[in-house]
Structure 1
């Protein structure tokens, strides 16, 4: 037992685990700091979100360790991939049509103990699905369209039949993106779409003309689905105007300081107040009713105000180190599946970080995306922890030299 434990620790990826622990600890502290003052005004229970985030962090740590030492034979199981699609589509439908809107979006299923956000789970699912699909096509010898159209003796129906698997997979991915967009959850849609885009470009990087055509077609299809499912909502709630105001607020937030630019202006004040070293833990002004839910979307602004540029730099460096290391593991991978999987997870972490940071400092419209391992939230922590544990599993098998035995060529 001791020898087995020593062997596991020898190949354990501390380069990913230590940044995760540090980020989770910072997240617990900052969630408490950002939420306690407002909770004291409302309920008097200042520990509510602190306790929950601590539980999520401990659960996330357990999931990272579990996935890092598990056998990944079920990752690409047909039952998992097919069953997972139906379950996730069912959850997206329930969230869309049978739940109350939260901040204008029907993207949450409240189970009292924890709220499930299906679009978060979709990020990991799409990585698992596409890693398997692209691995199969790659190992068959190149781009599947190039091979099939070379078979000139087949008639139209025979050629059409060859495309059935691709059409089914495309429908599965685009239907999922369409449902996420119809919530409307544009942050989740953007991250999921970027995962699909980067993994596809990694697979078919030599056929740029086909890639551009497919991307434009996919975006158009997803947009049409989202438009028709949201048409009534747009008319009733002036959603189009709301979206336009979000974009215009980015370019000149102070012009709309009393309306759509209010959140961004207060985020700027928080960043400005912090200076180089910050005002100190618990001393933020903007969290006192100025920034809505400062422990989620705007937690980076609170970190900036209380810990200053130094604190923000530490957080972003930890995230950057983690993201670059995930991509490096993918680059070093001898297994095709491991390569695609790491590229997908690296994109997931990178785009989610960019969306949150970009929204807080005015580089892009606010999308309601969490900061990985820092922001309050159970769904986000659980999915991110599982994904990180899987990457650590691949890293350990690379060091042992058993990657090919598990994941194949």
Structure 2
């Protein structure tokens, strides 16, 4: 009998419903100003949510992870799709806010290959550990040459888009999954990444006292992001504009908010109210109560996925759940950090609530995989209980 994990599906569904409401509220005013249909993004988001629900159910009921682990072509094909997509985006892609990570399809919708990369890394690392590690305590595992090719090629393309938010999330997924199986030298990698990140932050923080040294270079885009978070009110008309208006939105919302549709900052002040800064709009219109509801649902969802991973019976299942949990956690923290001024604005959206098709499809696929693993865990547990009960009955009969 199939076990449908409502502890995963219900938070996902409720977050999507909240997302539909907020996407309409955040986008309708600006669409009206532009002379477009006020329901344009609403209709698309409803389609994305319906597609997401279908994907969740298909992946959850088809023992997806087992089939992927057994297949020799699915992961390589996924890698080819990501590489070709990122390569096309770097060369011919549409530039949005300084990054070229999108592929526009006839102006109707856009695909973001870096989103698919997150799914690839979760599946790829789970698969290579299934083939090479027999025990979670095995510390003799190491990368093969093709692993470096698969992983570094994707990370390199993401770097050159440049999508540093996506790069950080993908690195976090890889690191957490490797730490889980105690891969050799991974502590060195973790320390290096943290050290380089801290060094970069302090360097860019100190640069606010001198003229921009990266003007006209590849890193000017990165510098502007740090400049906006370090001194937003000093650059209120340029790099700090988004963050300052986010502060105003959060302040206006208070505890209970101004009511859905009544927000002020979405009316031309926040440049991306329906995507990157949808939490700011939510805070203004639903207040701290609305934010706590959304974060509570997300926390329930992540906790359940990690619980399923902790109770899974195979290493690939555990790794996949931990990778999915990391994906949701880091993506949420990056978006929240940007909205409140703790982190640079990276263009990372908030899971299930922000507008977007690529993000919804990938997130839905990962949740479907988590639900299929949950079904396996429940089946194994029931099977063991049945065996124990049979043993008890035999003992009584004797």
Query: Which category of TM-score, normalised to the shorter sequence, fits these structures?
Result: 0.7 to 0.9
Distance 2:20 2:367 in 1: 18
Residue in structure 2 matched with residue 138 of structure 1 by the alignment: 133
Residues 242, 97 of structure 1: alpha-carbon distance in 2 compared, 3 angstrom cutoff = closer
Residue in structure 2 matched with residue 309 of structure 1 by the alignment: 288
Output one character per residue of 1:189-212: Cα deviation in whole Å (capped at 9) or x when no partner.
Answer: 01001000100111116x5xx223
Deviation at 1:219, TM superposition (A): 9.6
Residue in structure 2 matched with residue 49 of structure 1 by the alignment: 41
- Structure 1 residues 253-262 or 122-131, which shifts more? 253-262
Match of 2:169 among 171, 177, 191: 191
Q: Counterpart of 1:363 in 2: which secondary structure? A: coil
Residue in structure 2 matched with residue 247 of structure 1 by the alignment: 226
Deviation at 1:215, TM superposition (A): 4.9
Residue in structure 2 matched with residue 4 of structure 1 by the alignment: none
- Structure 1 residues 112-121 or 385-394, which shifts more? 112-121
Q: Counterparts in 2 of 1:10-409, with a 5 A limit? A: 11-72=3-64, 73-76=66-69, 77-112=71-106, 113-139=108-134, 142-144=138-140, 166-204=144-182, 207=184, 210-215=185-190, 237-401=216-380
Q: Counterpart of 1:107 in 2: which secondary structure? A: strand
- Structure 1 residues 389-398 or 75-84, which shifts more? 75-84
Output one character per residue of 1:121-165: Cα deviation in whole Å (capped at 9) or x when no partner.
Answer: 0001100000111233321772335xxxxxxxxxxxxxxxxx8x6
What is the TM-score with the length of structure 1 in the denominator?
0.84
Residues 343, 376 of structure 1: alpha-carbon distance in 2 compared, 3 angstrom cutoff = same
Output one character per residue of 1:367-401: Cα deviation in whole Å (capped at 9) or x when no partner.
Answer: 10010000000000000001101101110121111
Q: Counterpart of 1:356 in 2: which secondary structure? A: helix
Distance 1:403 1:53 in 2: 39
Residues 404, 101 of structure 1: alpha-carbon distance in 2 compared, 3 angstrom cutoff = farther
Deviation at 1:217, TM superposition (A): 7.5
What is the TM-score with the length of structure 2 in the denominator?
0.86
Deviation at 1:75, TM superposition (A): 1.6
Distance 1:217 1:261 in 2: 30
Distance 2:60 2:220 in 1: 46
Deviation at 1:86, TM superposition (A): 1.9
Output one character per residue of 1:51-107: Cα deviation in whole Å (capped at 9) or x when no partner.
Answer: 000010111011111111113243222211122212211111011112231211110
Distance 2:379 2:8 in 1: 17
Contact 1:186 1:367 in 2 (8 A): yes
User: What's the Cα RMSD here?
Assistant: 2.3
Distance 2:342 2:194 in 1: 22
Distance 1:131 1:404 in 2: 25
Distance 2:381 2:146 in 1: 33
Residues 235, 301 of structure 1: alpha-carbon distance in 2 compared, 3 angstrom cutoff = closer
Distance 2:60 2:286 in 1: 32
Distance 2:361 2:83 in 1: 19
- Unpaired runs of at least 5, structure 2: 197-212, 385-398
Corresponding pairs, count: 364
Contact 2:305 2:370 in 1 (8 A): yes
Distance 1:119 1:404 in 2: 40
Q: Counterpart of 2:349 in 1: which secondary structure? A: coil
Residues 387, 25 of structure 1: alpha-carbon distance in 2 compared, 3 angstrom cutoff = same
Residues 242, 81 of structure 1: alpha-carbon distance in 2 compared, 3 angstrom cutoff = closer
- Unpaired runs of at least 5, structure 1: 1-6, 146-162, 222-233
Distance 1:218 1:139 in 2: 28
